[in-house]
Chains A and B, each alone.
Chain A
Amino acid sequence: MNDQGYFGQYGGSFIPEILYSSQQELLKHYREAMADPSFVESVKKEMQQYSGRPTPLTHCANLSAQIGGAQIYLKREDLNHSGAHKMNNVIGQGLLTKRMGKKRVIAETGAGQHGVATALISARLGLECTIYMGAHDIERQYPNVFWMKQLGATVVPVTTGSQTLKDALDEALRDWTASFEDTHYLIGTSCGCEPFPEMVAGFQSVIGEEVKDQAMAQIGKMPDKIFACVGGGSNACGIFLPFVGTDTELIGIEAGGCGDGVGEHAKRFHTDQAKFGISQGFATMFLQDEEGQLAPTHSISAGLDYVGVSPILADLSDRGLVRMSSARDEEVVAGFKQLMKAEGIIAALESSHAIAGGLREAAQLSPDQNIVINVSGRGDKDIFTIAKALGDEPFKDFLATYLEGEK
């Protein structure tokens, strides 16, 4: 990264002038905080004592045998408090908010995992909390909305545009332009203007740092390949960055959705529907039409259908340091089921993209090779979507009976 927050040609700061001074203030506080050992120690302590870190590296003997290739290990970010890697980032930014003396946080959320994580840390740190969530995502992920509200957060449905993550991000930015004096924008992924990509990736890098130690202790060497799903890119940045430039190959798996047509997937790589663009505060590869209008996206998982991608990953991909691939919805559900049955682990549908990609390539490797798949979150939140994807009829009966009982 250079001193204006660029990663190659990506990143930078492209925000309305009104946000300039609060962005500069954040940058200054962030740099000071990271240079202060007591702050770094407080983040580490909260990650251990509140979120339960370190998360384990789990060897999947059954799954590895079934695939008949590499030894498969899972990095268990699903075992974080809140059930996803999102907790790492909100601990860091939550403590930074307190340090800056701000009283309120706002956040955007797609699947709702970042919204829940933000609401949890806000409750713990005594911060007022407003979450922006696309109305379409609220429909898909109501259980998360329920918890955000119970935790004391205000959840604002975003009804403009595609009513998903990108629109929630726009709305959070609009809030920030009016509220920056007492409010920190606690962005959930390694996107946005400087220093957000670097900051979020930095707080998430604890994932990869732990994998290094655990791989030495459990395998005796570094893994051959690491797989992570890529929406905005925070879990991928977190597990990849400590391995960039080493012999471990890093593979990001995007949402292949249900097809290659416009609006059927959320792939920002290997498609001519995505081009270099500048929006939402930063430069990256955005899915867009020829007029530069950001395009609709689809994924079976609400957390991956973001129209842009972390500038850090766009740059690493350009430089050949990360290889981007994708998995389609049906492949994702198959991977999800196979892991669940073989190992008794229920992964989030987002993370199941990484599983699908990992299983696909593990088969081509030999049993003395090792891969690590980042299980960024747990899947019990996806019960409604998964029950539907699996065509579970009794689940429908249950919902009908439940509603009947409420009348």
Chain B
Amino acid sequence: MSTLATFVKQQRQQKSMLLMTHVIYGYPTIDESLQMMTSLLEKGVAILEVQFPFSDPVADGPVITNACHDALENKPKLSQCLADITKLAAEYPNTKVLLMSYLNPILQYGFEALAADMQAGVAGIIIPDLPIDHHAMAAPLVEKSVDPIWLMIPDMSDERMEFVSQHAQGLLYCVSRKGVTGQGSDSQSEQSQLESYLNSIKKHTDVPLALGFGISTAQDIQGIVGLVDVAVVGSALLRAYQNGGLSEFNEKADELLTVQ
């Protein structure tokens, strides 16, 4: 089994829910983004997702999109990003570090080179504009035991869920609803729809599940305990940072970590 999947399953022996937090490399500066990462690692988040910014992030909502454009002003380099997060991963072995970016920056770096540079410390990668149909492009990563983390979405056909499940390893990222990142929604009927959606995924795979999009509070996380293994929080932490700097960011992280 993949080390990421093993890690999640082991952690889940003690915790009802693992937290996956998100930081944009280079926002607002490279140093400050590394500070945010260190802070989350100190707090012991289970998974840290580091987004390498791209100029045209079509799957992201306005909060992350604007932050990515700000981050790009600092001219971040993927090679340096990988070196920085590999170092952090080595210092904090109780957290798994993942990379998230779009296809074009990865393509220019090269999947082979990326696999070689991720192998040491970055457990997996999320590429939202790489559909499962092109899974062969990610083969060099799989060869080096870096897990491509594929997406599941609501209303996916059974056939396609099975297709994704066949390639799933490490973790599956389940998108909770349509749309882009950073917009919440909640109602009773949505909760039952969510449950049936997640149950249908579980029929196809026993790879651990992460749920993302629209999770912004400890209460939201509490609401999905028992449904998935990992809660993904992205825009909410970024918004906290924008409202009140590192101290509000830390408070938000502490709040999210109260669900254990």
9-residue interface stretch from A10-18, A30-38, A215-223: A10-18
Most buried by A among B58, B72, B108, B157: B58
Chain A residues lying within 8 Å of B9, measured Cβ to Cβ, are none
Chain A residues lying within 8 Å of B77, measured Cβ to Cβ, are 291
* Bound complex: CA A281 to CA B109 (Å): 19
Chain B residues lying within 8 Å of A242, measured Cβ to Cβ, are none
* A277, CB-defined interface residue at 8 Å: yes
Chain B residues lying within 8 Å of A166, measured Cβ to Cβ, are 56
What's the nearest-Cβ distance from chain B to residue A172, in Å?
9
- Which of A16, A167, A178, A290 lies in contact with B128, CB distance below 8 A? A16
* B160, CB-defined interface residue at 8 Å: yes
* Bound complex: CA A185 to CA B148 (Å): 29
* A174, CB-defined interface residue at 8 Å: yes
The closest CB in chain B to the CB of A21 belongs to: B155
* Interface contact A280-B56, CB-CB below 8 Å: yes
The closest CB in chain A to the CB of B72 belongs to: A293
The proximity string for B residues 28-65 relative to A, scoring 1 for CB distances below 8 Å and 0 otherwise, is 00000000000000000000000000111111011001
The closest CB in chain A to the CB of B102 belongs to: A279
* Interface contact A18-B108, CB-CB below 8 Å: no
* A275, CB-defined interface residue at 8 Å: yes
* Interface contact A288-B108, CB-CB below 8 Å: yes
* Bound complex: CA A14 to CA B151 (Å): 14
* Interface contact A174-B61, CB-CB below 8 Å: yes
* Bound complex: CA A177 to CA B58 (Å): 9
Number of interface residues of B (CB under 8 A): 43
* Bound complex: CA A177 to CA B57 (Å): 13
* B125, CB-defined interface residue at 8 Å: no
Chain B residues lying within 8 Å of A177, measured Cβ to Cβ, are 58-59, 178-180
* Bound complex: CA A4 to CA B58 (Å): 22
What's the nearest-Cβ distance from chain B to residue A14, in Å?
5
- Which of B54, B58, B155, B175 lies in contact with A173, CB distance below 8 A? B58
What's the nearest-Cβ distance from chain B to residue A79, in Å?
35
* Interface contact A286-B128, CB-CB below 8 Å: no
Residues of A within 8 A of B (CB): 4, 12-18, 20-21, 160-161, 166-167, 170, 173-174, 177-178, 180, 275-281, 286, 288, 290-294
Residues of B within 8 A of A (CB): 54-59, 61-62, 65-66, 69, 72, 75-78, 102-109, 128-134, 150-153, 155-157, 160, 175, 178-180
